[in-house]
Amino acid sequence: MSRPVILAIDQGTTNTKALLVAADGSVLQSRSRAMRVHYPQPGWAEQSASDIWEAVAALIAELVAAAPGIPIAGLAISNQRETIVLWDARTGRPLAPAAIWQCGRSASRCAALRTAGLEHEIVARSGLSIDPLFPAAKIALLLDAVPGARERAARGEIRCGTIDSWLLWNLTGGGVHATDHSNASRTQLFNLDTLDWDAELARIFDVPMAILPKIVPSDGTFGTIAPDVTALPGGVPVQALLGDSHAALYAHGISEPGRVKATIGTGSSLMAATPGRVRSSRGLSSTIAWSRRDGSVQHALEGNISVSGHAVAFATSLLGLADGAALTALAQQVPDSGGVTFIPALAGLGAPHWQAGARGTISGMTLATRPAHVARATIEAVALQIGDVLDAIAADLDHSIAALSIDGGAARNDLLAQMLADLTGRTILRPTIAEASAMGVAMLAAAASGIEMRAGDPVATRFDPAMPTHDRNRIKRNWRHAVAGAIAQATG
């Protein structure tokens, strides 16, 4: 009998990817599609939920056509997290564009909750700081903004979910409204201790619990694909759902203390697996990495950076360059940033600062500043933000961190990887895992069927710190001042 092949989807903010993964971890086929993000108002960010579903369906069709006769045992989905969709239960039509994780529309509602003194209660229950990144406050805003939505929700006519849930609903022809623990734990409506939706959080955020999906283990039974909905035959099971960062952690195989991974995408997510819930005193999130059908739950500590690889895209366009490679080449023309510091708080500052109102700044310029210095400062900023979160994780875990494993699109950039080593003073490990998030969720799905899938060499390329300590300290000092300046502007 042929070994099973898994069709793994990674639905990200910038790209949707689809892979056919064999039981030995080899990628038989892969396809990708660029996604559009809309910024209808300053601080807002939206995507078309219909476009997201259509991209997934189109990529499934391309893979099926590219590999005729290959039996697909199941689907596994990793996804951008914290992005929220509301849709009509009968027609399946979205009520509004998806409010994506970068969308800051709920900033004033979040500020009001903080002013009301609810931060402690919310963090104690959800493990997450109050920030517009998390969907709870945005769900309430969407319900308030769409005429009649609250009444329809009360009549059971509205469904709500993160992208995994939206895709599952469509794949099952509207048959299944579910999510997994990893995605649920990012909504700020999930209680990390009871491992279920939290009625008090729902009350605080004014979200009717009836619109929320059922929570299923990440490798659980999510249902089967409905006939005539995709190019796959009806009956193919959806075998695993995982948030993208969680899936990457799984692919890295990180479970011991002292090892951390960074997924460097549009934003960045640093995550360390922890034996149980860690209560952060440094603004990090406690979260569920994944859950299994045997009832086990893996906890994790996470720091989210809102604008990371996106900072490179932003600076590329600001400097009128063709692409990120051109920006990197420009950055390599100078030995340092010439004292320029770029704080890419373009959608506020995430962990460990959580300043939703912070805005981007470029400081330290003189008449000698050239575009190359700004380019170099941009790549340094990606590394320095990651360094700040890494230090916070080390302090929260009270454990030294000698190495950081990296993945995600921007991780392929050698200059960034070396800067990470130089500016964090730690070894950077870059595995050969192709598409860590898609591979991670495929591996989880395979493991549930008793198949141990391997995802490549976990330490294929190594970058060691080479920068003199006094240079590192000088750059970090400038960075800290500039971060404090961006925060002071937001709060002053």
Ligand X SMILES: O=P(O)(O)OC[C@H](O)CO
Contact between 341 and 377 under an 8 Å Cβ cutoff? The reply is yes
Nearer of residues 262 and 362 to ligand X, judged by Cβ: 262
Of 77-85, 139-147, 272-280, 345-353, the segment contacting ligand X by CB under 6 A is 77-85
Of 80-88, 233-241, 286-294, 351-359, the segment contacting ligand X by CB under 6 A is 80-88
CA distances from 431 to 69, 253, 258, 263, 354 (A): 31, 11, 17, 12, 30
CB of 271 to ligand X, least distance (A): 11
* Total residues at interface with ligand X (CB under 6 A): 14
Per-residue contact track with ligand X, 174 to 213, x per CB under 6 A?
----------------------------------------
Residue 37 CA to residue 347 CA, distance in Å, equals 14
CB of 492 to ligand X, least distance (A): 28
- Which of 25, 104, 265, 360 lies at the binding interface for ligand X (CB under 6 A)? 265
- Which of 12, 97, 161, 440 lies at the binding interface for ligand X (CB under 6 A)? 12
Using the rule CB under 6 A, is 101 a contact of ligand X? yes
Using the rule CB under 6 A, is 304 a contact of ligand X? yes
Nearer of residues 130 and 340 to ligand X, judged by Cβ: 130
Residue 312 CA to residue 266 CA, distance in Å, equals 9
At residue 280, φ and ψ (nearest 5 deg) are -70, 140
Using the rule CB under 6 A, is 244 a contact of ligand X? yes
Asked if the bond preceding 352 is cis, omega within 30° of 0, the reply is: yes
Nearer of residues 12 and 352 to ligand X, judged by Cβ: 12
Nearer of residues 13 and 224 to ligand X, judged by Cβ: 13
SS3 content of the chain, % helix, strand, coil (to 5): 35, 25, 40
The two tokens of residue 91 are 């027609």
Q: Is the dihedral of CA 24, 26, 29, 32 positive or negative?
A: positive
Using the rule CB under 6 A, is 267 a contact of ligand X? yes
Residue 15 CA to residue 312 CA, distance in Å, equals 16
**Burial of 89 (C-beta count, 10 Å sphere; 0-12/13-18/19+):** middle
CB of 133 to ligand X, least distance (A): 7
CB of 249 to ligand X, least distance (A): 12
* Positions that interact with ligand X (CB under 6 A): 12-13, 80-82, 101, 243-245, 265-267, 269, 304
